[in-house]
Amino acid sequence: MTQKYFTLLLLFFLSLSLEGQDKSFTATADQLAITVVNFRKAMGNGTEEVGTGFFIEKDDELYIVTAAHVAKIMDLKSDVVLQGIDNKPIRLYLFNLAMSINWQYHEKADLAILKLDPSEQIKKEYLQSRFIPYGTLELEKKPIPRNIQLTILGFPLGFGVEEYFSPLTFRTYPSSGLITTQRGDTKTLQTFILLEDPSVGGYSGGPVFDLGIMQTGNITMNTGKTKLYGIVHGTFPDSTGGKMAAITPSFYIQDFFK
């Protein structure tokens, strides 16, 4: 199948999701670029805090999901960078998408969700066909099979939003089942899935997909539907320099809707 065909297929299913259909789809990483955003907040010392988020839709309601430690930094005037025409970046303020920044934070997981209430003009001009159907999320509380190749989208070190919008990807495999351990500097226990490779700052909050597509050389194989398995939490380091990426399993997202 041609790249054009895959693009049309993705846009078709994503447009259905905006009409309240809970469909799954198969998509490449390039096609999923329209579903991720780069959060940026200018700090007083001339630096920026950056992170990644992504759009989902459930029952005709629109949301952004990211890591809690990213959401806590972002305010009304934080930038949200989207993919525009010809891969040019579109910069909006967070208040263009939500009149009040009422993040919901998960009690246990490094996870936050924001319900959006954009104007009809903003929705029409900037948000069409960007939302991942809720049915794409893996909501069963079980480990990811270790033979599944995972693809992560995000903006490590803030790259990918200057002249062109180009979220970076890296591919890896699970190195663990479900592991419960202390989250960051908090005393909160959270269940994670560890990956074979480390993450990079800026990927936090990014989606972790099984694309349902594997490519070897010129051969492309369809292995199933695209699934969203998790959200990047960060990296667990040790004193020897070893690092492992940790992701928050996507089953935690359903707790926001109970």
Please provide the average confidence, as pLDDT, over all residues in the chain. 88
**Residue 183 pLDDT class (50, 70, 90 cuts):** confident
**pLDDT recorded at residue 120:** 94
Residue 153: pLDDT over 80: yes
Give burial (CB, 10 Å; 0-12/13-18/19+) of 105: middle
- Nearest to residue 246, comparing CAs of 91, 104, 69? 69
Q: Are residues 125 and 67 part of one domain? A: yes
Q: How confident is the model at residue 257 (pLDDT cuts 50, 70, 90)?
A: very high
Contact by Cβ (8 Å): 76, 151: no
Could you tell me the residue range of the domain that residue 201 belongs to? 150-257
Among 74, 109, 136, give the residue marking a domain's end.
136
Query: Which of 136, 160, 185 finishes a domain?
Result: 136
pLDDT by residue (tens digit) across 34-93? 999 999 998 888 888 999 999 999 999 999 999 999 999 998 889 999 999 999 999 999
- Same-domain status, 54 and 89: yes
In a domain, 141, yes or no: no
Q: Is residue 50 part of a domain?
A: yes
CA–CA distance, 123 with 131 (Å, rounded to integer): 11
Residue 191 maps to which CATH number? 2.40.10.10
Question: Is residue 89 within 8 Å of 79, Cβ to Cβ?
Answer: no
The answer to whether 138 and 250 are in contact (CB under 8 A) is yes
pLDDT of amino acid 19: 38
Structure tokens at 161: 């939003």
Between CA 62 and CA 49 the distance in angstroms is 25
Distance (Å, whole) CA 52 – CA 243:
20
Task: Name the more confident of 29 and 240.
Answer: 29
Whole-model pTM: value is: 0.86
Looking at residue 23, what is its pLDDT? 55
Q: Are residues 158 and 207 in the same domain?
A: yes
Domain co-membership, 88 together with 27: yes
4-49 per-position pLDDT tens digit: 444 444 444 444 433 334 456 788 999 999 999 999 998 888 888 9
Q: Is the pLDDT of residue 171 over 80?
A: yes
Do 116 and 65 share a structural domain? yes
- The alpha carbons of the chain give a radius of gyration, in whole angstroms, of 17
Give a yes or no: residue 142 inside a domain: no
Is the pLDDT at 97 greater than 50, yes or no? yes
Q: What is the DSSP annotation of 63-92? A: EEEE-HHHHTT--TT-EEEEE-GGG-EEEE
For residue 246, is pLDDT > 80? yes
Q: What is the pLDDT of residue 76?
A: 86
Q: In terms of domains, do 100 and 126 share one? A: yes
- Among residues 51, 15, 50, 49, the alpha carbon closest in space to that of 34 is found at 15
The pLDDT assigned to 190 comes to: 94
| Percent of the chain at pLDDT exceeding 70 | 90
Q: Are 228 and 208 contacting, i.e. CB atoms less than 8 angstroms apart?
A: yes
What is the three-state SS of 122-135?
A: HHHHHCCCCCEEHH
In the chain, beta strands by DSSP E: 36-42, 48-58, 61-66, 79-83, 89-93, 104-105, 112-115, 132-133, 150-154, 168-172, 179-182, 189-194, 207-210, 213-216, 219-222, 227-237, 243-249
Do 112 and 181 belong together in one domain? no
Q: Are residues 176 and 224 in the same domain?
A: yes
Residue 144 falls inside a structural domain: no
In DSSP terms, 46 is beta-bridged to none
Overall number of domains in the chain: 2
Indicate whether 13 and 128 sit together in one domain: yes
Give per-residue pLDDT as tens, 195-233. Answer: 998 899 899 999 999 998 776 677 777 778 999 999 999
Pair 87, 8 in one domain: yes
* Rounded (10°) CA dihedral 207, 79, 131, 118: 150
Interval 102-119 mean pLDDT: 96
CA 229, 138, 68: angle at the middle one, nearest 5?
A: 55
